[in-house]
Structure 1
Amino acid sequence: MTSTKPRARPRVVVVGGGFAGHSAARSLAKRLGDAAEIVLINPTDYFLYLPLLPEVAAGVIDPRRITVPLAATLPGVRVVLGEVGSVALDDRRIGWTDPESGRAEMGYDRLVLAVGSVHKLLPIPGVAEHAHGFRGIPEALYLRDHVTRQIELAASTADPAEREARCTFVVVGAGYTGTEVAAQGPLLTDTLVRHHAALRDQPVRWLLLDLADRVLPELDPRLSGTADRVLRERGVEVRTGQSVQEAAHGHVLLTTGETVPTRTLVWCVGVRPDPLVEAFRLPTAKGRLVVDAELGVPGHPDLFACGDAAAVPDLTRPGELTAMTAQHAVRQGKLVGRNVAASLGHGTPRAYRHHDLGFVVELGGREAAANPLHVPLGGLVAKAVTRGYHLLSMPTNRTRTAADWLLDALLPRQTVQLGLVRAPNVPLDTASPEVQRSPR
């Protein structure tokens, strides 16, 4: 796939097909049309709508609902499957490895880095070996299988200690993902336990741990309070101010010195920029590539970055960076498309200035927390706002997703496990891949 022919049209390459990359590619196609060749390089052929991943793990919606096909939703964009691993800024070339280990490279006239983020793995003994990550479809499906398997094995054992461990589920990290996983979890295990008479009197524990002083510490205290109330009403043990000190097969040791017997540790502590950012060997802030307000990399007029990979200055809060959220990623992707087009002579650039529209947190069942336009809501009203927001935000699959929600409300949840096994794309370890940058 290496090309040496001169290009009749400028080539714009977008690396990453997440919220920022998908939005950028769509914006570029709309603004440039046939005036440029637009290429998107991504390891999968879909954009993953991450906010609904906990509902996949809980068996509420089909995993295909949150996978948005890139080729079908990005007309005019050439989609290349691959993991970018080398960057030569002076030569304007990048290299990647495809899903079958083939290697290729490509030149570009403009490059947009939108690779997103990966697990933040802290140096805690045993976590990489025993915890379950939660960033993709394989992890969500594996977690659902694992939880189902633990309940079924607990029902078949005569050992009380083993039964207790298998019926105890520990979630670390009370941000968006951890809170939603912990909220959905008891609804799933309650359904599973009802089918096993041997577990009729067996307590099923869900623990949510975080060193912060409250759940959802980044949100308004009123939203945090709503989430906390829902979690506790479902029996979740909310443990703020504490975390895991060590993990082992069969138990975790907490920072309080308490040992909790468990076979399930779900790691939702946070994320960090994709290791590919390091390959550029350019200035970073908090691990993110430094960009200006127009999302361009200073000193490199052909290089742009957006989303979790970019340290975008927050013009509404001087001295601060925009948060690593999907809301920012989508808006930045749209703007970077405009500014890249402007750099090629189509339109005028603009600086990124956002206006916070609020946040939504899906808590499962009939519960949610939301603050549209900073109006705090809970209960069914928040549920309607939350689901309406997701349906409007999803590029496709809206009808199918709504149908799954309706079926979940009307029919019993399916409780079989699929027999999935732990595979290389499921473990938590996110050690830097072999990325390199060609010498100048």
Structure 2
Amino acid sequence: MARIGVVGAGYVGLTTAACFARLGHTVVCADVDEAKVAALGRAEVGAHEPGLAELVGEGLRDGRLRFVLGNAAALSDVDFVFLCVPTPTGPDGAADLTAVHAVLREARDAVPPGCVLVIKSTVPAGTTERVAELVGRSDVQVVSNPEFLREGHAVDDFLRPQRVVVGAEAEEAARRVVALYEGTGAPALVTRSASAELVKYASNCFLAMKLSYVNSLAELCEQVGADIADVTEGMRLDDRIGASFLEPGPGWGGSCFPKDTRALLSTAEDAHVDFPLLRATIGTNGHQAHRVVAMVRDAVGPLPLDGARLGLLGLTFKAGTDDLRDSPALAVAGLLAEEGARLTGYDPCVSADCGPVRVLESPEAVARDADGLVVLTEWPEFAELDWPNLAALMTAPVIVDTRNLLPADKVTEAGFHLVSLGRPA
């Protein structure tokens, strides 16, 4: 078993550290946030990620996992160092590698001979080779090993991955990293570092394209009298297309898709490659929030949105997480607020007010005296609500379902006027 250092105890770093400990390795995870390190040392995991807190507690009890303040302990006396630091979008749309370079300045002199430096952060193609030049040590290999973790499924995605991708110019170093995942039984792709880096961007951007495509298709269905659910069901039966990422919604968001689409477009522009399909994917997604607001405006009309009381069901960017980053629900909320709507909201994982949205304790509280409800996140429990009770609480029983989550028959039988994406009125 290996000795692993993980730099960064964020979403990716913490999952990486806890799961490698579960696979039997000895892991030290470092972060510069003193409060976070102290909490993790007590097995207190702030993120809503099923199974992660249990894995952290198990690793601490078994002595295979520990958390330290600062990077020194994660960089010395280890066989591998995994860089799991943020690479946010910079002002020009490219990935900001400031945090990566900061760690490299420490790692250059701190990592022991024979150590493999593994970049797990999402970085543009060519970064691993440039990092190897910056490190400038022939006794230290640099490898790309992108993560493919879905929020809400991160533990399962790490321990039972669909694939492990490792890129390096030295195949021996890549094989050493692949061996760390031996207990997962996943197929491994060993390739050049630039190819491995591009796999992550290519995958996320392709999924974003599917979502933008189906949202445009839903708009077309509304105009021609088709039902998007039937259309996508017919598409799913085609093995060439696949069953996933064919659900219309208020737009895509989160910590990856917005960042990765802009970063890949920036990479293409730097390489003088025209990528109109990706540009259109981003533009279509920006249009979606405005389209949802127009649907809400039509649904509650003739009442103007200025002064209308609207209840929002769901605020996170998707179900199963507490992540509000680039949430399409909040994008819609911002546009509704600009038109003067008074907003309340409920989300199972959100307790604090979000911008213009006053967060309440239950769907019933959100529905009380509301002129309309808007479903923005696909939390399964929203499909099981007491619809007659909600209708009785509202000023006007109107609901816009942007996730096509609700049982239409039960909702309409309760007296609601229901508007769904991609379906005839």
TM-score, normalization: structure 2?
Answer: 0.25
Pick 1 or 2: higher relative contact order, CA cutoff 8 A, min separation 6.
Answer: 1
Please identify which structure carries the higher strand content.
1
Please identify which structure carries the higher helix content.
2
TM-score, normalization: structure 1?
Answer: 0.25
